[in-house]
């Protein structure tokens, strides 16, 4: 029983789920002056967190369900569907988790319910069709990542619109870069199943050029944020905010830019994928400077 529970937690990527909950909580609290710690314990916000992580959990389940054969090549040792959890049970869990997400969303508001429903729909189409298509799947996942932040404005219009847009853009670009890195990492397995991902269509070298261009674009965006930090966040600690962003966001991204240029083997892109997680996490933590 315990092993089944562990398999299920690994199936829904519980570490990523915790990061999603952490991100929404940070964004809701730190991106507006009039949100208090008590608001984080509000029933409606707790329902929003639950609905969001359930949608993400369902997405991971259905993705592994459809990618069973592909994952046996790309990450054979980590395959759960068909091993620890049967395909039938995974599909059953997918529907139960999605229905539960809709129920929680309904009790929040109808606009949140609609947004959750369309996110579920897009994520199903991604897993079933778009994941194997040229760039569309990458863009859709990046958009879904930013939607987990933008839904806060649908939930509560008091949250800073500027802050949400800044971090939605941050989330979109960093997720897009990471998704392309992951596709490059999995190119050998994807080729055997008629996938048309960016590295398969363009080749690894041209894909690296795309990644370099995106990374440079992101560094420019972060530089623009630094130049206009004072007018954006109205913080008493603008200097410390800029110092933090330079050291923990900008500098790691410059390192990533260099590593992308040097990467050739699968292990190189695996390392890049790992490093990109820290870049995203440090970016999320920078939200604290909008309020302190």
Q: What is the mean pLDDT of residues 78-90?
A: 76
* pLDDT given at position 132: 76
Q: What is the CATH number for 8?
A: 1.10.357.140
Instruction: Check whether residue 20 and residue 89 sit in a common domain.
Output: yes
Domain boundary among 135, 159, 183: 159
Instruction: Check whether residue 44 and residue 54 sit in a common domain.
Output: yes
Q: Which long-range contacts (CB under 8 A, 24 or more apart) does 127-133 make?
A: 127/59, 127/62, 127/63, 127/65, 127/66, 127/67, 128/62, 128/66, 131/63, 131/66, 131/67, 131/195, 132/190, 132/193, 132/194, 132/195, 132/196, 132/197, 133/196, 133/197
> In the chain, how many domains are there?
2
* pLDDT given at position 197: 84
* pLDDT given at position 118: 94
Lowest mean pLDDT among 42-51, 100-109, 281-290: 281-290
Instruction: Check whether residue 276 and residue 149 sit in a common domain.
Output: no
Instruction: Check whether residue 134 and residue 213 sit in a common domain.
Output: no
Domain boundary among 116, 135, 159: 159
For the stretch 64-77, pLDDT in tens is 777 766 655 566 55
Better-predicted residue by pLDDT, 290 or 173: 173
Q: What angle do CA 33, 107, 20 make, to 5 degrees?
A: 55
Q: What is the mean pLDDT of the chain?
A: 86
Instruction: Check whether residue 131 and residue 149 sit in a common domain.
Output: yes
Instruction: Check whether residue 274 and residue 202 sit in a common domain.
Output: yes
pTM for the structure as a whole: 0.88
Domain boundary among 159, 185, 210: 159
pLDDT band at 82 (very low <50, low <70, confident <90, very high): low
Instruction: Check whether residue 164 and residue 151 sit in a common domain.
Output: no
Lowest mean pLDDT among 162-166, 202-206, 228-232: 228-232
Instruction: Check whether residue 165 and residue 232 sit in a common domain.
Output: yes
Instruction: Check whether residue 51 and residue 183 sit in a common domain.
Output: no
Q: What is the mean pLDDT of residues 46-53?
A: 96
Q: HSE on the CB side for 271, CA within 13 Å? A: 13
* pLDDT given at position 37: 84
Per the structure, the complete domain to which residue 1 belongs is given by: 1-159
Instruction: Check whether residue 19 and residue 143 sit in a common domain.
Output: yes
Nearest-angstrom CA–CA distance, 170 and 53: 20
Lowest mean pLDDT among 54-63, 149-158, 180-189: 180-189
Q: What angle do CA 275, 278, 284 make, to 5 degrees?
A: 150
Instruction: Check whether residue 155 and residue 251 sit in a common domain.
Output: no
Instruction: Check whether residue 69 and residue 176 sit in a common domain.
Output: no
* pLDDT given at position 137: 86
For the stretch 139-163, pLDDT in tens is 988 998 899 999 998 998 878 888 8
């Amino acid at each position: 029983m315990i092993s089944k529970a562990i398999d299920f937690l690994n199936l829904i990527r519980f570490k990523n789920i915790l990061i999603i909950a952490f991100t929404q909580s940070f964004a809701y609290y730190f991106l507006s002056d009039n949100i208090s710690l008590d608001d984080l314990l509000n029933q409606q916000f707790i329902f929003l967190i639950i609905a969001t992580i359930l949608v993400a959990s369902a997405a991971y389940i259905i993705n592994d369900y459809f990618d069973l054969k592909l994952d046996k090549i790309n990450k054979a040792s980590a395959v759960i569907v068909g091993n620890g959890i049967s395909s039938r049970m995974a599909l059953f869990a997918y529907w139960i988790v999605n229905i539960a997400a809709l129920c929680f969303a309904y009790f929040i508001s109808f606009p949140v319910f609609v947004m959750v429903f369309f996110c579920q729909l897009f994520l199903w189409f991604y897993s079933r069709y778009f994941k194997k298509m040229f760039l569309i799947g990458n863009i859709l996942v990046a958009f879904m990542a930013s939607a987990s932040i933008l839904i806060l404005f649908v939930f509560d219009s008091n949250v800073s619109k500027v802050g949400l847009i800044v971090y939605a853009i941050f989330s979109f670009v960093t997720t897009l870069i990471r998704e392309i890195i992951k596709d490059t990492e999995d190119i050998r397995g994807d080729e055997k199943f008629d996938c048309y991902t960016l590295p398969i269509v363009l080749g690894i070298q041209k894909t690296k050029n795309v990644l370099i261009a995106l990374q440079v674009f992101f560094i420019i965006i972060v530089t623009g944020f630094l130049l206009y930090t004072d007018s954006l966040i109205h913080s008493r600690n603008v200097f410390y905010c800029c110092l933090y962003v330079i050291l923990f966001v900008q500098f790691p991204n410059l390192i990533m830019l260099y590593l992308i240029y040097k990467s050739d083997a699968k292990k190189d892109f695996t390392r890049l994928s790992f490093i990109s997680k820290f870049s995203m996490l440090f970016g999320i933590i920078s939200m604290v400077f909008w309020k302190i």
